Amino acid sequence: MSGTDKKILIVDDDPDYLMAMTALLTAKGFGNTIVPLNNGTEVLEYLFPDKEENEIPVILPALVLLDIKMPKIDGLQVLAILRDIEKTRNLPVFIVTSSELDTDLKTAMKLGANGYLTKPVDPDSLVKLFSGYL
């Protein structure tokens, strides 16, 4: 798995969580592929830097680990946008959140999330879950 040039976007407004996930994925051999982002707006700016959602993203990542509860644009809104755009419709998006609300889970899955994990996440389970995408 290491040595891949595929990117993993980790999107969370908690800097401690971003550091922990980066350390975890680095230890698992994904260190050179991680792009930490702080909110939903940054995801859209990363994928569509020219603000043209009809354009092919500059860098389409292999997968996105997305928190729900974030300022500006929350994770469910980002997921809905990504699923609405043809170029990102099939982008693997895993919700990794502290929310245990059944409505959040149902909404995420209805919007097309590839998986839903509640924090804290077992590191080996997380890597096993998305390793088929890298």
Separation between Cα atoms, residue 67 and residue 83, nearest integer Å: 16
Structural domain includes residue 2: no
* Phi, psi torsion values for 81, nearest 5 degrees: -65, -45
Tell me, what's the pLDDT at 58?
63
* Average pLDDT score, the chain: 85
Please tell me the least confidently modeled range out of 32-41, 66-75, 120-129.
Answer: 120-129
pTM confidence score: 0.86
Please indicate, yes or no, if residue 122 is contained in any of the structural domains. yes
Q: Is residue 37 part of a domain?
A: yes
Residue 2 pLDDT more than 50? no
Q: Which residue has the higher pLDDT, 120 or 114?
A: 114
Query: Which residues lie below 8 Å from residue 74, measured CB to CB, with a gap of 6+?
Result: 40, 68
pLDDT higher than 70, residue 45: yes
| Full residue range of the structural domain in which residue 89 is found | 8-133
Tally the domains of the chain. 1
**Residue 51 φ/ψ region, left for φ over 0, alpha for ψ in the -120 to 50 degree band, beta for the rest:** left
Token couple for 80: 């809905």
Q: Which DSSP letter does residue 53 get? A: T
Widest CA span in the chain: 38
81 domain-assigned? yes
